[in-house]
Amino acid sequence: MEENTEMTYTQAVTELEQLVQKMQDPQCSIDNLSAYTKRSKELLDICRKKLTAADEQLKQILADIQQQ
């Protein structure tokens, strides 16, 4: 699994979709369910944060470029 801090939205959502696919597989073992669910929650949080939480550092970088 990827390091959360380094993940892009696309990486996170791709891993999430693969995970959901595994969970939807009728062969999915109940033994893996807990780990899958925990990781899904982490990925959902990463994705939502990427979409809605402000990245002040990026804002500042772009403001500097615009000023140039």
Partner 1 sequence: MINTASNNEQLPQGMTLSAFNARIERVISGEPILQNQWVIAETSGLRLNRSGHCYTELIEKDERGTTIAKVDAVIWASNYPYLYYKFKEATGQPLASDMKVLIKVTANFHRQYGLKIVINDIDPSYTMGDMARQRLEIINRLKSEGIYDLNKLLPFPDVPQRIAIISAAGAAGYGDFMNQLNSNPYGLQFYTCLFNAVMQGAQTVPTVLAALDRINSHIDLFDCVVIIRGGGATSELNSFDNYDLAANVAQFPIPVIVGIGHERDTTVLDEVAALRVKTPTAAAEHLIQCGTTALARLNELQDAVVASVRDTVAQAREQLAYYTSMIPATAHRIIDTNRIRLDNHARNIPLVANNLMAIQRTRLERAIERIGDNIARAMQREQQRLQALDDKAALLSPAGTLRRGYSLVKLGDRYISTATDLQPGDQVTLQFAADDAQATIN
Site membership for partner 1, residue 44 (CB under 8 A) = yes
Site membership for partner 1, residue 59 (CB under 8 A) = yes
Shortest reach from residue 3's CB to partner 1, in Å: 19
Number of residues that bind partner 1 (CB under 8 A): 33
Tokens of 52: 């809605």
Site membership for partner 1, residue 18 (CB under 8 A) = no
Site membership for partner 1, residue 66 (CB under 8 A) = yes
Helices (H), 1-68: 9-24, 30-52, 56-67
